[in-house]
Structure 1
């Protein structure tokens, strides 16, 4: 009898970062028994549809029938864009981490200034214009993790950010009504990527469709 292959996971980073920011999370998910790939994309230069096409080609090249998707921040929006523009052939679950499903007060505040609009790029511009609201929910089991540690650049740039927040997004902004489960953890927006607890919860949802409450 042959052993089943490890389940495959693809991780997606957020705005301004590259796949390197996901190194710790990727390592921990591998320790949980997953085969992990990291997808890097130009989060500022390209819009959501262009990056979705790139992600679709990346997934098509994987030798796996089941591919789970985990997106941090804007990466979670890109996962939704994938299912709108180029739905993948593989089955799998989705987890979003601090993703602005409900928009972003901080981004709206910064977008008043031309320099910040250029720095945030066209993907964020589409988010602020409400483009993701026009998309159907991905036909997958979706888990959402939101943070409540109010620490990060967003709090410095926009001091009126309502609590609870993760230093960039409020819990309400991170929520996704179509998700199967939501989990709130005492983590900051970027700090969550280095959390043992978060990695364990992501692994639990990818295996069972439930967080380990």
Structure 2
């Protein structure tokens, strides 16, 4: 069962409602998280294609490059797309990369944004593991930037943003940090996944990685991209 979670009174005034035109098919760019390759998004992408979207997956070096370098890569990729509307969907660190994109390259085509299990409020698990040098190396430059608070100084993307959080507590985070506050998705708490500037938040019974394979998540992503609202 889906649960709608209110974290803020609503999106800021500059997050204006998108007017969709029918000039070209709406394009969606999927952005993976830490450690994952682009093909982890295959199932989500296939389900969005069935909803009528043109879908691309963007891959980037999530460990060895920092957020600004990867934002430049993403901006270059988006420039190659022949589309009037480009929606962005980011899983985990991919959602932070979307915010980095608008911070460093704000002139983007119209579209909506959905983040899936993104640590907008930081990550207790990552903070805990960053005490150990091997883990700091494994998590990479982007996560270290997140933990040092760089995204807090960025202006929110001027787009309608939907946030999906998981509440199925199954994943590596529970093994690394005992007593991870609930509700959580096995890595991030719902509070950590929240983004005050988002138009809507939705909590679903999925785990951090499992949300990429959830039919309901795919349906809700498509619904928000089309209408600016999750299905109730």
Shorter-chain TM-score: which interval? over 0.9
- What RMSD over aligned residues (CA atoms) do the two structures have, in Å? 0.8
The residue number in structure 2 matching 1:129 is: 148
Alignment of 1:108 with 2:134, yes or no, is: no
The residue number in structure 2 matching 1:83 is: 102
Alignment counterpart, residue 57 of structure 1, candidates 51, 67, 76: 76
State how far apart, in whole Å, the 1-side matches of 2:108 and 2:214 are.
31
TM-score of the aligned structures, taking structure 1 as reference length: 0.98
User: Where in structure 2 are the equivalents of 1:1-213 lying within 5 Å?
Assistant: 4-213=23-232
Any unmatched runs of 5+ in structure 1? none
Residue pair 2:23, 2:84 contacting (<8 A) in 1 also = no
State how far apart, in whole Å, the 1-side matches of 2:179 and 2:24 are.
48
Moved over 3 A (4+): none
Residue pair 2:25, 2:83 contacting (<8 A) in 1 also = no
Residue pair 1:22, 1:193 contacting (<8 A) in 2 also = yes
Residue pair 1:56, 1:87 contacting (<8 A) in 2 also = no
Show CA shifts across 1:153-197 (max 9, x none).
111111221000000000000000000000000000000000000
Residue pair 2:24, 2:84 contacting (<8 A) in 1 also = no
Once the 2 structures are TM-superposed, how far is the Cα of residue 4 of structure 1 from its aligned partner? 4.5
Pick which of 150-159 and 174-183 moved more: 150-159
State how far apart, in whole Å, the 2-side matches of 1:34 and 1:4 are.
13
State how far apart, in whole Å, the 1-side matches of 2:201 and 2:82 are.
30
State the secondary structure of the residue aligned to 2:44.
Answer: helix
State the secondary structure of the residue aligned to 2:115.
Answer: strand
State how far apart, in whole Å, the 2-side matches of 1:62 and 1:186 are.
34
Q: How many residues align?
A: 211
Show CA shifts across 1:17-45 (max 9, x none).
01110000000000000000000000000
Any unmatched runs of 5+ in structure 2? 1-21
